[in-house]
Amino acid sequence: MRDPALPTATEPAPQGGVAVQLRGVTKRYRSGAAALGPLDLAVGRGEFVSLLGPSGCGKSTALRLIAGLAQPSGGTVELAAHPAARRGEHAIGFVFQEPTLMPWSSVRGNVALPLQLAHAGRAEIAARVDDALARVGLRDAAEALPRQLSGGMKMRVSLARALVTDPDILLMDEPFAALDEITRFRLNDDLLTLWRELRKTVVFVTHSVFEAVYLSQRVIVMTPKPGRIAAEFRVSAEEPRGAAFRSSAAYAARCREVSDALARATEPA
């Protein structure tokens, strides 16, 4: 059941209007099998929202629909226009489960790729890449090749590449799932620091209750296929979050509530 203190998923979220709006969105495979929905979800500008659910529930599909990498079978996906966009384009950054780096190119070259594809000028590319690398702590690794990097560093490169175009919306599909716990905790903290500084709208997919509650302002619990919203939880915590919040009674209690909701959502009918 939904947390009664929360607005419904279709209500406009705070912080300056809605950045992402899904209305009655469904997705079916060519076989006819339903993968998602109907799904109604509103994400506010600057909000950090996590989608939490079992494998195959449509979390990644929802991200792909938001990004325009796939089209819904029904319903609508609406995005707020990027202020600096031309021809009504939307600025979206996407961090996938795997870093998908070009092995022959340096860290700098991998981060520069979106700007090169957009035919940005050389000076602009250099300045933006330097800024993105500095933000993710990779200034000193700019000339390294992917094979010289740890898993955590590769994911930082992927994050820098997503940020280099200065997107309004950052979509993240289980980016830290394959990392060890210490590295994952560190990247969680670094991601929150970036979010506080840049105030991007973030939609984050994860299987981890603990990660979802630690990172998010709002956690959306989804049902098994076809993915629908089973419950929502708002996470209220003083900023900046850190070790004190992770070890607090409030964090533990919220994790239990979200975990219980996830268990209920995945119970056989």
Q: Which pair of structure tokens corresponds to residue 136?
A: 């993710």
Report the pLDDT value the prediction gives residue 83, as an integer from 0 to 100: 62
217 close to 47: Cβ distance less than 8 angstroms: yes
* pLDDT of res. 13: 44
C-alpha to C-alpha distance for 18 and 130, rounded to whole angstroms: 31
Write b or e for each residue in 136-167: b if 16 or more Cβ atoms lie within 10 A of its Cβ, otherwise e. bebeebbeebbeebeebbbbbbbbbbbbbbeb
The pLDDT, as a whole number, for residue 30 is: 86
Q: Tell me, what's the pLDDT at 136? A: 97
pLDDT of residue 7: 39
What is the Cα–Cα distance from 240 to 249, expressed in whole angstroms? 17
How far from 186 is each of 125, 198, 215, 240, 250, CA to CA, in Å?
28, 18, 12, 14, 21
What's residue 18's pLDDT?
A: 95
74-79: strand order across its sheet: 34-44, 18-28, 74-79
Point out which residues pair with 79 in neighbouring strands. Answer: 20
- Inter-residue contact 20 to 40 (CB < 8 Å): no
**7's tokens:** 């607005």
91 in Cβ contact with 165 (< 8 Å): yes
Contacts 24+ apart (CB under 8 A), 111-115: 111/157, 111/160, 111/161, 111/164, 112/164, 113/161, 114/161, 114/164, 114/165, 115/164, 115/165
pLDDT of amino acid 84: 53
| Domain 1-91+201-269 architecture | 3-Layer(aba) Sandwich (3.40)
d(CA 151, CA 99) in angstroms, rounded, equals 9
pLDDT per residue of the chain (269 residues) written in tens, 0 to 9: 344 334 344 444 455 799 999 999 999 988 888 999 899 999 999 999 999 999 889 999 999 999 999 999 999 999 987 665 544 445 899 999 999 999 999 999 999 999 999 999 999 999 999 999 999 999 999 999 999 999 999 999 999 999 999 999 999 999 999 999 999 999 999 999 999 999 999 999 999 999 999 999 999 999 999 999 999 999 998 889 999 999 999 999 999 999 999 999 998 76
Domain boundaries of the chain, sorted by first residue: 1-91+201-269
How many other CB atoms are there within 10 angstroms of residue 16's CB atom?
A: 14
